[in-house]
Amino acid sequence: MSTPVWLMPFLPLLGTLLNALFGRWIGRHAHWIGVPVIGASFLCSCILFLSVWSGETFRGDLFPWIQAGAFTTAVTALVDPLSAVMLLVVTGVGFLIHLYSVGYMHGDPGYARFFTYLNLFVFSMVMLVLAGNFLVLYVFWEAVGLCSYLLIGFWYERKAAADAGKKAFIVNRVGDFGFGLGVMYLWVALGTLDYDEVFAKVPTLAPETATVIALLLFMGACGKSAQLPLHTWLPDAMEGPTPVSALIHAATMVTAGIYLVARSHLLFERSGVALDVVAWVGGLTALFAATIALAQTDIKRVLAYSTISQLGYMFAGVGLGAYAAGLFHLVTHAFFKALLFLGAGSVIHALRGEQDLRKMGGVAPRMITTTVTFFVGAAGLAGLPPLAGFFSKDEILASAYHAGRPGLWAVLLLGALLTAVYISRAFILAFRGAPRMSQEVARHVHESPRVMTVPLGLLALLTTVAGVAVGIPSAQGTAFARFLSPVFPLAEEAGHGGLSALTLLILSVIAAVAGVLLAWLIYDSRPVNAEAIGRPRNRLHALVLHKYYVDEVYGFLFVRPLVWLAGFCARVLDLGFVDGIVNGVGRLVVGWARSMRLVQTGYVMNYALATLLGAVVIVAFFLSR
Spatial contact of 233 and 171, defined as CB atoms under 8 Å apart: yes
Do 586 and 476 share a domain, yes or no?
no
Do 594 and 456 share a domain, yes or no?
no
Q: Give the chain's mean pLDDT.
A: 91
Percent residues over pLDDT 70 in the chain = 98
3 state SS of 195? helix
Do 508 and 572 share a domain, yes or no?
no
Residue 163 gets the label, from left (phi > 0), alpha (psi -120 to 50) or beta, of alpha
Mean pLDDT, residues 143-157: 93
In a domain, 335, yes or no: yes
Q: How many angstroms separate the CA atoms of 510 and 520, rounded?
A: 15
Do 312 and 438 share a domain, yes or no?
yes
Q: Does the structure show a pLDDT above 60 at 75?
A: yes
For 453-481, the pLDDT digits (tens) are: 999 999 999 999 999 999 888 878 889 99
Please provide the DSSP assignment of 220-267 as one string.
HHHHHTT-TTS-THHHHGGGS-HHHHHIIIIISGGGHHHHHHHHTHHH
Beta-carbon count within 10 A of 573 CB: 12
The model carries a pTM of 0.90
Mean pLDDT, residues 57-74: 83
Do 510 and 572 share a domain, yes or no?
no
Best CA proximity match to 423, nearest among 340, 481, 530: 340
Q: How many angstroms separate the CA atoms of 217 and 267, rounded?
A: 10
Do 385 and 534 share a domain, yes or no?
yes
Q: How many angstroms separate the CA atoms of 339 and 345, rounded?
A: 10
Domain boundary among 545, 571, 605: 545
In a domain, 430, yes or no: yes
Count the alpha carbons within 13 Å of 156 in the hemisphere toward its beta carbon: 10
Domain boundary among 545, 579, 603: 545
In a domain, 525, yes or no: yes
Q: How many angstroms separate the CA atoms of 462 and 472, rounded?
A: 15
pLDDT on residue 494: 47
Do 507 and 609 share a domain, yes or no?
no
In a domain, 89, yes or no: no
Q: Does the structure show a pLDDT above 80 at 3?
A: no
pLDDT on residue 548: 93
For 7-45, the pLDDT digits (tens) are: 999 999 999 999 999 988 988 899 999 999 999 999 999
DSSP state of 354: -
In a domain, 247, yes or no: no
Residue, of 387 and 493, whose pLDDT is higher: 387
DSSP state of 356: B
Do 385 and 505 share a domain, yes or no?
yes
Do 469 and 411 share a domain, yes or no?
yes
Spatial contact of 288 and 211, defined as CB atoms under 8 Å apart: no
In a domain, 209, yes or no: no
For 351-397, the pLDDT digits (tens) are: 988 899 999 988 999 999 999 999 999 999 999 999 999 999 999 99
Identity of the residue numbered 226 = A
For 514-562, the pLDDT digits (tens) are: 999 999 999 988 887 877 888 888 888 899 999 999 999 999 999 999 9
3 state SS of 57? coil
In a domain, 298, yes or no: yes
Pairing of strands 58-68, 71-79: antiparallel
Spatial contact of 175 and 224, defined as CB atoms under 8 Å apart: yes
pLDDT on residue 600: 77
Residue 377: domain span: 272-359+369-545
Percent residues over pLDDT 90 in the chain = 71
User: Helix 273-293 and helix 406-431: axis angle, to 10°?
Assistant: 30
Mean pLDDT, residues 107-122: 93
Do 421 and 565 share a domain, yes or no?
no
Q: Show the 3-state SS of 474-541.
A: CCCCCHHHHHCCCCCCCCCCCCCCCCCHHHHHHHHHHHHHHHHHHHHHHHCCCCCCHHHCCCCCCHHH
For 280-318, the pLDDT digits (tens) are: 999 999 999 999 999 999 999 999 999 999 999 999 999
Q: Does the structure show a pLDDT above 60 at 495?
A: no
Q: Does the structure show a pLDDT above 80 at 72?
A: no
pLDDT on residue 624: 82
Do 564 and 534 share a domain, yes or no?
no
CA 399 to chain centre: 25
Do 441 and 541 share a domain, yes or no?
yes
Domain boundary among 545, 573, 593: 545
In a domain, 474, yes or no: yes
Question: Based on the structure, what is the number of domains in the chain?
Answer: 2
When pLDDT is cut at 50, 70 and 90, the band that residue 217 belongs to is: very high
**CB-count exposure of residue 537 (10 Å: 0-12, 13-18, 19+):** exposed
**CB-count exposure of residue 538 (10 Å: 0-12, 13-18, 19+):** exposed
Q: How many angstroms separate the CA atoms of 230 and 379, rounded?
A: 28
